[in-house]
Amino acid sequence: MLYLDNAATSYPKPESVYNELNGYLEREGANPGRGNYQFAFQTEKTIEATRLLAGQFFGMPDHHRVIFTLNGTDSLNIAIKGTVQPGDHVITSLLEHNSVSRPLKQLEENQVITLTQIPFSTEGFVDPNDFRKAITSRTRLITLLHASNVLGTIQPITEIGKICRENNLLFLVDAAQTAGIIPIDMSTSHIDLLACPGHKSLLGPTGIGLLLIGDRASLSPWREGGTGTHSENPRQPKELPYLLESGTPNTLGIAGLRAGMQFIIREGFDKIRSHDQKLLSQLVTMLVEKKECQLYGSLDIDQRVGSLAINWKNYTSSEVGAILDESFQIAVRPGLHCAPYVHRYLKTAPEGLIRISPGYFNTMEDIYECCEALYQL
């Protein structure tokens, strides 16, 4: 199989991640914080080391404000539902994944919040001034993805972060498509809440996510339970990370995530980003001149991550996906990509688009093979 669906989840993982996962539960299988013995202490050390590494990775000085979650969706739900209050106004964009738009729409439907969704340009970018104009006296939160999971376009988060600071608003960034590819510094970009999954470009396993909480943000928990500390307290502890981490953590996922981040640090962001851009550039070059192929989003390689959304004349996206899979053993992602507002705005609903998303372990030969298969359509 030729795997080109890394925007959904990265595959394969680095060998160091597999090695860590293979032996971890034998070495560190205890429940952290739940036993006064060395076996449990060692597991706790791994968790804290990963928390510290994640804080350094994203420019978060206080690693206690790094929260381990189930995935990116969990991180975003904790951030949104732990932040907004009845009567608040929230601003987001039409580019968002359902992980953001669904909880916000439900809160709006329940009359908890009012909601403004900012449109995007034909090239796939939001305008920071549109966010500034949408602010009201009731606005509490602005939430925006860093890069579109459909179009790959990188959004101006630093400019919008500045607008949030100027207006004393909280800024939540969904970094699902950029964490591990593009360096993110929460302080520099004025980010209060950063959410991302561990299984995409952070190269970890599924079932683990991160939520980093800046010191301007104060969240309420939406689950309570055992934390391994303060057991005498009838209420959830107020201290982070315990406030937002209840129950036995995914220690295996945390260890795999640490191995993924360590791999990225060893390779370096410059090398990873350069490889990402080279593959995307070749993909665009081989498809842009084909009259049967329509490309979506800006073609400026510097303003996007390495996934490309296309449609092929006389075929639906699902037909193309099925042909590539069954006849060529090539895995791409057809459909709406859990981002229906993007497709409605582009008028590509209900069939959606074909998303081709190479990863760090793909080669230029993989791009040639995919394009040659598409030519045979």
What are the domain boundaries of the chain?
Answer: 2-11+268-375, 15-266
Contact 26, 36 (CB under 8 A): no
Distance between CA atoms of residues 25 and 242, nearest Å: 23
Q: At a CB cut-off of 8 Å and minimum separation 6, what does 72 contact?
A: 99, 174, 176, 195, 196, 197, 200, 209
Query: H or E stretch including 174?
Result: strand 170-174
**Six token digits for residue 328:** 């060529």
Going by C-alpha positions, the residue among 159, 187, 191 that lies closest to residue 174 is 191
CA atoms within 13 A on the CB side of 11: 10
- What fold characterizes domain 2-11+268-375? Aspartate Aminotransferase, domain 1 (3.90.1150)
Same fold across 2-11+268-375 and 15-266 = no
DSSP E strands: which ranges in 41-151? 66-69, 88-93, 113-118, 139-145
**Is the domain 15-266 a CATH 3.40.50.300 member?**
no
Residue 349 has a pLDDT of 96
Contact 203, 263 (CB under 8 A): yes
Q: pTM to 2 decimals?
A: 0.96
Please, is 233 exposed, middle or buried when counting C-beta atoms within 10 Å of its C-beta (0-12, 13-18, 19+)?
A: exposed
Residue 269 has phi, psi (to 5 degrees) of -60, -35
Distance between CA atoms of residues 72 and 196, nearest Å: 5
Residuewise pLDDT in 10s, the chain (377 residues): 999 999 999 999 999 999 999 989 888 888 887 667 888 888 889 999 999 999 999 999 999 999 999 999 999 999 999 999 999 999 999 999 999 999 999 999 999 999 999 999 999 999 999 999 999 999 999 999 999 999 999 999 999 999 999 999 999 999 999 999 999 999 999 999 999 999 999 999 999 999 999 999 999 998 888 887 777 888 888 999 999 999 999 999 999 999 999 999 999 999 999 999 999 999 999 999 999 999 999 999 999 999 999 999 999 999 999 999 999 999 999 999 999 999 999 999 999 999 999 999 999 999 999 999 999 99
Residue 230 has a pLDDT of 72
